[in-house]
Amino acid sequence: MPVTTINGSSVHVDAEGFLTSYDEWTPELAGSLAEAIGIDLTDRHRAVVDFLRRDFVERGETATLRRVSTVGGFPTKELFTLFPTKPAKKMAYVAGLPKPRGCV
């Protein structure tokens, strides 16, 4: 896997730039990842990211947009506002998780 440096941290990424090692992610890195895709993290963004990371530990895969909405309690419309255009992909990217299954 390729290694890249983000905000002074060396991290392993896949061909699309998603982190491949769960333990390399930090909350500070999330801010840098978000900034790279034009998002200024708010407490609400961080709440979504926290849910995704907890859910990943429990299930072993990145939550889909539907799961974030139904289980996490974040309305889909809000997710599109927080992470415009491709929310599932962007949420996973900022959370340092693999792209959700079925996400193109």
Catalytic residue positions? 103
- DSSP letter string, 14-75: -TTS-B--GGG--HHHHHHHHHHTT----HHHHHHHHHHHHHHHHHSSPPPHHHHHHTT---
